[in-house]
Amino acid sequence: MTKDVIALTERMPDPLSVLAGLLSGGPDKLVGTAGDGAVVQLCDEEGRPLVSVEAPLLVQVAGEAERLLGAAAPPVPYWWTEARATTGVEEAERLAGTFAARLASLTGGFAWPPQAARSLAVVRTEGMNVAPAPAAAQPAVDVLTDKAAVVIMDRPVVAMTAWLSDAFRAAAEAGIGLQIVSPAGSTLSSAVRDSLPGWPSRWIVRDGRDGYYDGLTGAVLRWQEGMFAPIAGDGATAEDPRTPVAAAFKETADTGERQLAVTFRTVHPADDRLVLGGALESVWRELTGEPPAGWGTAEPANLPWSARRLTDVAHERAPEPTWIVVVGGPDRPGLATVRVGRTKAGVEEHITLAFGYGPGEELPLGALPRAAEVLATRHRLQSMLVQVRKARRDLAVPPRLEGPGVPVAFVLGAEEVRTMPGDRARRTPLSEPPLQLGPRTRPALYYPLPGDPSDLSGWQDFERLMRHLKGATAQDA
C-alpha cells in the first residue's frame, strides 16, 4: 500500500472536515503540528507521528493531477491535500487512506490512489511500532544516517512535492546526500532530475532482477555503510570498479518521441521595477504560440501564470534564492525550472526548459533565432544552449537509458560578445558563421550546430566552439 495518499476535493477542507479525518484513528490519538503549523500530525501516545498532513493547496492549473498521478481531478480550481504515513507501519498507511477518504466524502471529491481509501471506519492502532526521531521529525525522510537522507516515494511520478522540497533543504543543511527510492514503474519529474545534487544523492529504483539501481545511470546499488552505493563487478579494482548496469536500464526502444531542451541565463540590474519571468514567457510564446499555463514553488504547479506574482515571491524571499517550477498545458507538454538569485552582477535567472513532441509533430527549430533575439534584446541574455534529444513527449524521466541531447544552437549575449577581444566571437572554427542578433552596433551571436539526435558529433563542434571562445588552443585542450 502506498505511503502517500492525496485527497482531491471540490471544496476547501474546512477545520471540521479535517478534524473528522484526523479522528480516523479514534479520539485517543494526539494531534501536533510541524513546519510552523503548515503540517498537522496525528501521533501515538508518545507523541511520535503516525500520519503527517500538509496544508491544503488550491490548484488552479489544469492537467497537474493527470501529469503527476495519472488520475482525473475535479474541474479547476480544486483542493489538493496530501497525507504521508509513517514508513513500515501498516496501520499508519490505512490511517492515511481513511483520512483522505473521509475528507473527500465531506468536501466533494475523491482520494488517490483509490485502493488506499476504501473505508471510512476508525483504524485500530494499538501496539504498533512507530519510527523514532530523528527520521520521524522530518515527515518526508524515511531513513536518516550520517551520510544520507532516504525518501521512499510510491507514486507514478516522483515529483518535487512540498514534502520532497523540504527533504532537499534538510539534507543540504545537514551536509548529507538525498536518496529517493521508488518502484520500478515510477518515472522522475525533470524538475527533480534538474535539482538533484551530485554524489551521494541518487534516484534509486527497486528492481525484481537486480535489487536496486540508479535510475539515471543504471548502476546496480546495495545498501552499504549507511547509504545506497554501487557494487563492484567481476574483476573490479580500486582504479576500475566495473560497476554492473541493471538489465532493466538497458531495455530501450526509439518511439520517435523528441524533446526540445533550452537552457539559458539572464542577468538584470537590481531594481524595484524589475519583473522576473519575462524571459521565460517570451521564449515560451515564440516556441509554442502560448504563454506558460501555471507555476508554483513545488509540484503540482498550482497558480495560473503571472510574471508579477512570481516576482513578488522572489522579492519576498530575497536575499535567499528562489526555485520555481513552470508548466504548460496538456496539448503541448512543457516544463521549466527557474532559479532566481542575487549576485554581484545583479539578479540572475537560470532557466532550464523542455517541450515534448510526438512522432508526427515538428519541432519549432525555425523559431529559435527569433526567440534568441528576443532574449538578447529585451531580457539581457548572457548565454543559451539548445538541444534536441530522443526522450518522452510527456517529459517524464524513465528509469532507463535515454540518449544524450545533441546541441542545435548556442547563443552568446551582446555584453559577452562586446567584452571578447578582437573578432574572436565572430571568427570561429565552425563551418557556418554565427548569425547576428539585434543591433549591428551591439549584436548577440547565434551559433548554429548540427542538431541531429542520431549523431553525437555535434558535441565535438560545441567543444571546439567553447575552447575557441575561451581563448584555449588545441594544446590547452
Helical ranges in 113-207 per DSSP H = 162-174, 190-193
Distance CA 414, CA 377 (A): 8
Neighbours of 87 (CB within 10 A): 18
Examine the pLDDT at 136 and tell me if it is beyond 80.
no
One DSSP character per residue, 15-64 reads: HHHHHHHHGGG-TTSEEEEETTTTEEEEE-TTS-EEEEEEPPEEE-STTH
C-alpha cell at 220: 546496480
One DSSP character per residue, 387-420 reads: EEEE--TT--B-SS--PPPEEEEEEE-HHHHHHS
Distance CA 474, CA 88 (A): 57
- Region 376-396: what's the mean pLDDT? 96
Side-chain-side CA neighbours of residue 103 (13 Å): 32
Q: How far is CA 183 from CA 52, 53, 163, 267, 337, in A?
A: 22, 23, 18, 40, 25
Do strands 322-327 and 294-296 pair parallel, antiparallel, or not at all (unpaired)?
antiparallel
For residue 135, the model assigns a pLDDT of 47
- Region 461-475: what's the mean pLDDT? 82
Reported as a pLDDT band with limits 50, 70 and 90, residue 2 is: low
Examine the pLDDT at 126 and tell me if it is beyond 80.
no
Mean pLDDT of the chain: 87
Of 53, 164, 135, nearest to 98 by C-alpha is 53
Local structure of 271: helix, strand or coil: coil
* pLDDT tens figures, 72-108: 889 999 999 999 888 767 777 888 888 888 888 889 9
One DSSP character per residue, 411-440 reads: EE-HHHHHHSSTTTTTS-SSSSPPEEES-T
* pLDDT tens figures, 395-437: 999 999 988 899 999 999 999 999 999 899 999 999 999 999 9
Do strands 177-182 and 202-207 pair parallel, antiparallel, or not at all (unpaired)?
parallel
Examine the pLDDT at 127 and tell me if it is beyond 70.
no
Q: Which residue has the cell 507501519?
A: 89
* Segment (H or E) for 460: helix 458-469
For residue 272, the model assigns a pLDDT of 82
Distance CA 376, CA 160 (A): 31
Do residues 331 and 63 touch, judged by C-beta distance below 8 A?
no
Q: Which residue has the higher pLDDT, 120 or 436?
A: 436
Distance CA 72, CA 78 (A): 12
Examine the pLDDT at 476 and tell me if it is beyond 60.
no
For residue 19, the model assigns a pLDDT of 62
CA 466 to chain centre: 28
Contacts by 236-241 with C-beta closer than 8 Å and gap 24+?
Answer: none
C-alpha cell at 99: 483520512
Of 4, 102, 113, nearest to 53 by C-alpha is 4
Do residues 388 and 403 touch, judged by C-beta distance below 8 A?
no
Reported as a pLDDT band with limits 50, 70 and 90, residue 265 is: very high
Of 332, 326, 262, nearest to 290 by C-alpha is 332
* pLDDT tens figures, 25-44: 554 444 444 544 457 777 76
Do residues 253 and 262 touch, judged by C-beta distance below 8 A?
no
Reported as a pLDDT band with limits 50, 70 and 90, residue 472 is: low
For residue 337, the model assigns a pLDDT of 98
Examine the pLDDT at 49 and tell me if it is beyond 80.
no
For residue 20, the model assigns a pLDDT of 56
Of 117, 132, 102, nearest to 26 by C-alpha is 102
Distance CA 250, CA 391 (A): 15
Cis peptide upstream of residue 134 (ω within 30 degrees of 0): yes
* pLDDT tens figures, 311-370: 999 999 988 999 999 999 888 999 999 999 998 889 999 999 999 999 999 999 999 999
For residue 457, the model assigns a pLDDT of 80
Neighbours of 72 (CB within 10 A): 10
Distance CA 328, CA 330 (A): 7
Report the 3 state secondary structure along 333-347.
Answer: CEEEEEEEEEECCEE
Considering the chain, what percentage of its residues have pLDDT values greater than 90? Answer: 65
Q: Which residue has the higher pLDDT, 59 or 92?
A: 59
- Region 376-384: what's the mean pLDDT? 97
For residue 238, the model assigns a pLDDT of 58
